[in-house]
Structure 1
């Protein structure tokens, strides 16, 4: 979508300013505007720092390391800004918002994700990508996986997987039938995105969560008969629906990813061999970039190093990696503290998924999207249950 607007975000060509996502510029402008309207810009910074200290710490660490990257002439300048500074600014801004703002934000999330899923299914059905993923304007003609609104299919799969898990244990403001419908729609979209890790993770974590919640409700109280009948009926129809979908080729793209992964699984093994060719000093401060790129090509890792910790260690050094992940861990803990208890499910899924690709070791907006979903859909609300099967009150003796 950004390419169609004349903004070459993912490519190598174009202005350096276009390598930073427009949303990051927006967050900076809003933060500056709020600090000015506060009356005392320095006082505003102190105010939000007191409310979100770990978030401020990650923003400071990321900014300092950004200057280190620039001075050392290492790759990843835009990645430090979009990946770490942008979500930190967003969390600081949201710390000032009220219930109405979060209610509107929840609506926006559900609408955008629903449109994203419907567009993905439309692209799958028509075999035409409305907003194909581009690199310097070039379209990957051999990759027909749906791209929808999120760009790259794997980015779509990651966000969709987190959203499905959030619908299961969060989104308390939505009625149960609507949540079930959204889960089904998003799961279908997850298939056409072709994300193997996202699909397997969603099935395992989502299945275990529903099983545990169902057993807990059955043992602690009576279950709504209408809801139980609906679940049994859907379970009976599920094998037939899967068989029909498989017959008409709905799972072909996903199965092809399991059969032929373009060397992705082998890359996860080969990337460990790179460390054998590096000295201790190179591991601490980062090796020569030309040498590292040569070793990558020799090892067949042109597509990337599919783990954020390993990639940051190789390109920036272990000391740099330790600092940024220290700030990241505190930031995630602070985000989780601002959510209700169900946040553990998407948080666990997020931490697993980000280790299956370069993710936060490269330029991405995935962490920004995750914190938006977490803070909006898991905002603590009193007097509501987060389960699908709500127990009825016991009869008095």
Structure 2
């Protein structure tokens, strides 16, 4: 038994046989279902400044670290296991290295944001490394978990909208913003809800989620789109409509060129063309879109903030910008300029607080990480990737503390799963128990 555990390749098979899907499903449930507002209700100030340092890290991140450590120890050869997963997902390892360097850089300068670095940059690569050895059946079970959680999130957002009561409102050090009436649902912050909901909606539109019955796909997409209105997701709605329309027209064009139009699909399209205007008119008459229209009319200075943030760079020396300015100085300049609500772009935000050099390394790591997600996902994944990438750059998003990228990673890998036989390595006796998958092996079942 000890000889079996000593081989990282065989250990990976044991981990699959060991049904890691159940603890991973629990991690996903906490990731999507536990917000800062819920943590505040149980006595943890996750999103504020006061409180212990341990409370500033999301429980799902702790769970991912423990699960990865368990997988490494269960292999019987920790170093061999790390080499094994590193070879399979090098971009994820690179993101881990960049996160470690950023953590050390922030700690050396005694700057704020250590917990943000851990939550934002540690969870996504660990999630990908763990899912690398999951088979299709295990990913299918996690996929079902995601469907249930996203449906509950959308229904909860609609319920909060119509009732006017927020179950877990977004808080900062316990303070609720009375002027912000947007739904918070399970994700906590309206912008996180909008970004994750948009990515999920585009994934369903592009054919993601193979376990979802075809008859449920259209109602699920309609539910998610309605929830975007309750979250006040202006950009998410525009991105969903724009990319969704382009994708739908492209598919329709291909279908007409082939000369094969499904009768059921044509009937459904005619029904929607007749019913949709009536539904939109009824919702508008009932005041469903009033809150969203108010957001477009008065965005609270959000658009102006995206212009004013460039003024900060002109007021800081080049040397400080390269290695990272003093955080207290940046905060003071933000208040003077009128950017109390934050710097609404992750790259700009990171450059101002962590320096251009460190931000450049981190940005490259993020791009390579997303490319790796695309490589190990089925065709169709590019639609949600493009939509999510646009939304990331319209707010602070991954420039601060968030679990958005972890949520996106697990959605892409489980909603667009590749067959394990196409991505797994073929085991053979050797120094480390593994060898690369050869082209001839790819066609074998």
- Give the alignment partner of residue 358 of structure 1, picking from 396, 400, 414: 396
State how 1:216-255 maps to structure 2 within 5 Å.
Answer: 216-255=254-293
CA distance in 2 between partners of 1:51 and 1:5 (Å): 39
Q: Distance in 2 between matches of 1:291 and 1:193?
A: 33
> 1:4 — aligned with what?
41
Q: 2:131 aligns with which of 75, 80, 94?
A: 94
Residue 67 of structure 2 is aligned to residue 30 of structure 1: yes
Unaligned runs of 5+ in 1: 383-397
Equivalent runs, 1:140-151 vs 2, <5 Å = 140-151=177-188
Q: What corresponds to 1:18 in structure 2? A: 55
Q: Do structure 1's residue 83 and structure 2's residue 83 form an aligned pair?
A: no
Tell me the residue number matched to 1:59. 96
Per-residue CA deviation, residues 345-367 of structure 1 (Å, 9 max, x unaligned), is 01101111000001111000000
Q: Retained in 1: the 8 A contact 2:124–2:406?
A: yes
**Partner of residue 256, structure 1:** 294
Residue in 1 aligned with 2:162? 125
Structure 1 residue 330 corresponds to structure 2 residue 368:
yes
Compare 188-197 and 1-10 and name the one that shifted more.
1-10
Following TM superposition, by how much is the alpha carbon of 1:343 offset from its aligned partner in structure 2, in angstroms?
Answer: 0.8
What's the counterpart of residue 84 of structure 2? 47
Corresponding residue of 1:343: 381
Q: Could you give the per-residue CA deviations for residues 5-43 of structure 1, whole angstroms, max 9, x where no partner exists?
A: 222110111111100111110011111111111001111
- 1:81-230 to structure 2, matched below 5 A, reads 81-169=118-206, 170-230=208-268
Are positions 1:310 and 2:348 aligned together? yes
Deviation at 1:156, TM superposition (A): 0.5
Number of aligned residues: 382
Deviations 1:173-193 (A, max 9, x none): 323221111000111111111
Helix, strand or coil at the partner of 2:47: coil
> What's the TM-score once normalised by structure 1's chain length?
0.94
Please identify, of 219-228 and 320-329, the stretch whose mean Cα deviation from structure 2 is larger: 219-228
- Written as runs of structure 1 = structure 2, the 5 A alignment for 1:284-299 is 284-299=322-337
| RMSD, matched Cα | 1.2
Structure 2 spans left out of the alignment, 5+ residues? 1-37, 421-445
Distance 1:174 1:341 in 2: 17
Residues 211-254 of structure 1: per-residue CA shift (max 9 Å, x gap): 11111112114111122111111111111111110010000111
Normalising by structure 2, we get a TM-score of 0.84
Q: Deviations over 1:37-92 (max 9, x none)?
A: 10011111111111111111111121122112111111211111110111111111
Q: Distance in 2 between matches of 1:288 and 1:380?
A: 45
> What SS does the corresponding residue of 1:356 show, helix, strand or coil?
coil
Distance in 1, matches of 2:205 and 2:264, equals 19
Whether 1:370 and 2:403 are equivalent positions in the alignment is no
Q: Which residue of 2 aligns with 1:393?
A: none
Distance in 2 separating the partners of 1:171 and 1:28: 27
Per-residue deviation, 1:125: 1.2
The DSSP-based 3-state class of the residue aligned with 1:269 is helix
